[in-house]
A and B are shown apart, each in its own frame.
Chain A
Amino acid sequence: MFELLKKFKESQIFSPLLALLILLLFDFIFIDGFLSIEIRDGRLFGTLIDILNRAAPLALLAIGMTLVIATGGIDLSVGAVIAISGAIAAKLIGGQLVIENGTIQYVTQVSLPIALFASMGMAAICGMWNGFLVGKIKVQPIVATLILMVAGRGIAQLITKAQIITIYYKPFHYIGTGYLLGLPFTIFIVVLAFLLVSLFVRKTAVGLYIESIGINDIASKYVGIKPSRIKFIVYTICGLMAGIAGLIVTSNVKAADANNAGLWKELDAILSVVIGGNSLSGGKFTIAGSIIGALVVQTLTTTVYAAGIAPEVTLVVKAVVVVIITIIQSQVFRDGISKLIVKRRDLT
């Protein structure tokens, strides 16, 4: 039992889990009814469920971003891809409100699956573009994805003609606001994505290849791994995840807003991955850790709202927490702590 505990303590997801638990404990003590969950109309309601629901897009981004970061890369374009994906879905479904005999008719220009696949397909193509630049042309990831980050929002605005397109088509709303088995549908999307991606990287050699590239690109190449192909796959997955996140975000607000959808989400996603215990320089990765990281970021936001602090201050709190967490995770700090412990032991 002790061995198991020690093993768990050394695992990568220990410190993000600890951070999450401390945050939740803080909320439990200082915010009334934080942990209470009630059942209404066969659906679960409560702050915890709300956190899970709202963290869904971020968790999806974090899944893709984890893989990208594990190869030693970074994807700055996911926020823009969210905007593109939402814009395409809205454009295809159409923004007209049709009222017949006093009731709203749910109309769509194309059938829903086509709209969804078109959005996700375009998002995957965005990812492929990044993967092509990083893998084949060997552009630095931060620069390569900067292109789409800058141009992507312009493309999204081009699609929507810079208008906010409201979607009245009801079935589309289910993605972001629907319930399944008493839980928000978004949670199932995240779980499914997590399982599929985990199976893909852990049950095949792909995960090993990714870590190997992240640790040493050139050495991996000499071993016979094709870094360009793996990077292409990884960025494509990241783009696809951003596309699905875009659909959730768009469905949630029932509108496609090319200017604001997914704004600064790439930074939150990278933050989630780092809080999740992954190193930005690549190598070993844990997707579960990143999802916990996403939950930490979302809990932080929700806490600030629930504690009645002005929402604008969220950023300051976020900054302080980020600094504290990264300092705790830093080698210098850990070395300092272990030195302190050793000193104490010597004294006694």
Chain B
Amino acid sequence: MKNILSSKYLSVIITVLLFIIAFAIPSIIYPGFFSMQVFFNLFIDNAFLIVTAIGVTFVIITGGIDLSVGAMIAFTSMVIASLLEKGISPVIVIPFALLLGTLAGLMMGFLIEHFKIQPFIATLAGMFFLRGSCFLISIQSIPINDPFFKTLSHTRISFPGGAYISISVVISLIILGVAIYLAHYTRYGRVLYAIGGNEESAKLMGLPVGRAKIMVYGFSGFCSSLGGVLFTIYMLSGYGLHTSGLELDAIASAVIGGTLLSGGTGYVFGTLFGVLIQGLIQVIIMFQGTLSSWWTKIFVGILLFVFIVLQRLITAHREEQKASSKRLETSKQTAAV
């Protein structure tokens, strides 16, 4: 028990367990709930959020925050829809949109790193800018009739037993794999964790803090614009009011997944389950039938509360352990003297 409590994966384990419980209970209560397709639908409906939340998790690990992701998705959907409307091939449009997103992210990173503007304010300005730019393109919703996008949207990858997933799901899982590799198996990942742990120390160690910080916002920009591409495929339209407030869902996913907003601790894998749990709450409320949509928000709020208090308890427990082990050491030393 003590082993599990002090394990650094504790919050991720709890998140996964909670997801399993949250899936099991309605499976018993509602007939037809327990199926592979219900599970897969969580991925299909939230593929864009998974990709976006991964980028946000990286930023949060460095101790920053990115409020621009919701606006970035809307902006990407708008850019894609308007360019496709002009008859430009999707082969050019999609890389162009991703490039724009990455550049916007790098720009925010530059403001944060070079001018020492608080991430909160810089990405808030980014959010205003991107949302506003959507309406500069058009204030109306632009439908997408491009055959390539339609095929992407309607293609189903079937599994034995009749269940299926979409192409977006595959892309989001690839990004997840890449992100896990980046975070835990590369030098860049370790630099990110070091910055979140203590930026000053990281600098004194000679780590490329400035570059890594600019790049992490660029990465988040890339992820959210890729999320935007997936969302556009899902909705088949571009609109400036799309995904309003999604940055909160992304941040909440990271928190529920065990990422500490103070930086230094967090797992992309946990974020995946943070997204899935939020999606699951929506599905359960839909299945239940009599609960109104606003209960989703209240439940997510309660869940956030539970996780935050839990994390608080874990860190307090760890600090206590550290303190007691230190005390033990000093008493040993004094004994030796």
Which B-chain residue is minimally distant from A327 (CB atoms)?
A: B115
* Chain A residues with CB below 8 A from B248, complex form: 146, 149-150
Q: Which of A85-140 contact B (CB under 8 A)?
A: 133, 137-140
Q: Is B177 an interface residue (CB 8 A)?
A: no
With contact pairs A314-B132, A320-B129 given, residues A146 and B139 touching in the complex (Cβ less than 8 Å): no
Interface string of A140-156 (1 = CB under 8 A from B): 10111011111111110
Q: A146 near B298 (CB under 8 angstroms)?
A: no
Q: A312 near B294 (CB under 8 angstroms)?
A: no
Q: Which of B233-260 contact A (CB under 8 A)?
A: 240, 248, 251-252, 255
Q: A154 near B297 (CB under 8 angstroms)?
A: yes
Q: How many A-B residue pairs have CB under 8 A?
A: 133
Most B C-beta atoms less than 10 A away, residue of A140, A315, A320, A326: A315
**How many chain-A residues does the 8 Å CB contact rule pick out?**
47
Q: Is B157 an interface residue (CB 8 A)?
A: no
Q: Which of B125-141 contact A (CB under 8 A)?
A: 125-129, 131-133, 135-136, 139
Q: A138 near B312 (CB under 8 angstroms)?
A: yes
Stretch at the interface among A165-173, A174-182, A188-196, A328-336: A328-336
Q: A330 near B132 (CB under 8 angstroms)?
A: no
Q: A330 near B117 (CB under 8 angstroms)?
A: yes
Other-chain contact of B132, A138, A140, A162, A312 (Cβ < 8 Å): A312
Q: How distant is the Cα of A162 from the Cα of B305 in the complex, in angstroms?
A: 24
With contact pairs A150-B304, A154-B296, A318-B128 given, residues A313 and B135 touching in the complex (Cβ less than 8 Å): yes
* Chain A residues with CB below 8 A from B308, complex form: 133, 139, 143-144, 147
**How many chain-B residues does the 8 Å CB contact rule pick out?**
45
Q: Is A323 an interface residue (CB 8 A)?
A: yes
* Chain B residues with CB below 8 A from A149, complex form: 248
Q: A326 near B115 (CB under 8 angstroms)?
A: yes
Give, as a whole number of angstroms, the nearest-CB distance from A134 to chain B: 11
Q: A330 near B116 (CB under 8 angstroms)?
A: yes
Which B-chain residue is minimally distant from A280 (CB atoms)?
A: B118
Which B-chain residue is minimally distant from A323 (CB atoms)?
A: B125
Which B-chain residue is minimally distant from A318 (CB atoms)?
A: B128
Most A C-beta atoms less than 10 A away, residue of B118, B305, B308: B305
Other-chain contact of B121, A142, A148, A280, A316 (Cβ < 8 Å): A280
Q: Is B324 an interface residue (CB 8 A)?
A: no
Q: Is B262 an interface residue (CB 8 A)?
A: yes
Q: Which residues of B contact A (CB under 8 A)?
A: 65, 67, 111, 114-118, 120-122, 124-129, 131-133, 135-136, 139, 240, 248, 251-252, 255, 261-262, 292-298, 300-302, 304-305, 308-309, 312
Query: A274-B118, A315-B129 given. 20 additional CB < 8 A pairs?
Result: A139-B308, A146-B251, A146-B255, A150-B248, A150-B301, A154-B296, A157-B292, A161-B292, A162-B293, A267-B124, A312-B132, A313-B132, A313-B136, A314-B132, A315-B132, A322-B121, A322-B124, A323-B122, A330-B115, A332-B114
Listed by A's residue number, 9 A-B pairs whose Cβ atoms lie within 8 Å are: A140-B262, A150-B301, A151-B300, A154-B295, A158-B295, A267-B124, A280-B121, A323-B117, A326-B125
Q: Which residues of A contact B (CB under 8 A)?
A: 74, 133, 137-140, 142-144, 146-155, 157-158, 161-162, 267, 270-271, 274, 280-281, 310, 312-320, 322-323, 326-327, 330-333
